[in-house]
Structure 1
């Protein structure tokens, strides 16, 4: 059914649920590849607020965190016997949702599976929703996995 599935990961509990669903779906589909994506968002404001040295250290820490998230996802997929690849993207002044959609296009993905907090009301307005933006702009189906109650 689906052959190339993009799974954005940020280390959150909701992303972990999305990962589990992706592995479950892919393990029943021979020839399916999961593309794990972690986006390191280079916060432009932090550059102006911190020294170059502390900014470099912060960025190094964010990269390390992203690589750790991807390694854990690869291990989980490997245990399930699922083919996988991982991508670490660093961005500056880009919307994470757009990066996710662009990566889905670039890698020829036919599905995106990601976790969502399912926020409503003021929390949704204040926090925004990358998942909602991906669902609105993606050229391929998006499976949103809600956080457990």
Structure 2
């Protein structure tokens, strides 16, 4: 069973899906969680090209997001701590793998956006890079699929 689970979060619904799965695994197996946020300047510039903010605003928004995430985690019966690291010049994946090694995580659980085509080419895939370079298992959690019933109801309404 896993004893130390690293879960990177960025505030997106995909990363929160990963967080939920990591919490579930930690509760089941008694593992400790480390919730990691990487203040990543490349992600902000890449996803919001018109967004020009300095590193301090990245730090503030990262801290606010992490406070919200940890408030959610503390409601669960798991041992957890949090860490914010800065990587304003490189990929978040590099910081995730480095922290997994440093903290001696035996599992990384992360949400994935599942980008395809042009978006994947432009933004890359931190999840893919973590899978390729981590020295421990990586569990990727996709976004929650729409239920078949909900999809059928929408289809029926549109007729």
CA distance in 1, matches of 2:129, 2:17: 19
CA contact (8 A) 2:7 2:110 kept: yes
Alignment gaps of 5+ in structure 1: 47-53
Superposed displacement of residue 7, structure 1: 0.5
Q: Determine if the alignment matches structure 1 residue 38 to structure 2 residue 37.
A: yes
Q: What residue number does 2:6 align with?
A: 6
Q: What residue number does 1:142 align with?
A: 138
Q: CA RMSD in A?
A: 1.7
Report the 3-state secondary structure (helix = DSSP H, G, I; strand = E; otherwise coil) of the residue aligned with 1:92.
coil
TM-score (structure 2 length as normaliser): 0.79
Give the strand-richer structure, 1 or 2.
1
Q: What residue number does 2:16 align with?
A: 16
Alignment gaps of 5+ in structure 2: 46-51, 146-159
Superposed displacement of residue 33, structure 1: 1.0
Could you list the per-position Cα deviations for residues 90-113 of structure 1 after superposition, in whole angstroms to 9, with x for gaps in the alignment?
123222111100000000000000
CA contact (8 A) 2:40 2:86 kept: yes
Greater Rg by CA: 2
TM-score (structure 1 length as normaliser): 0.84
Alignment of 1:49-88 (within 5 A): 58-88=54-84
CA contact (8 A) 1:34 1:85 kept: yes
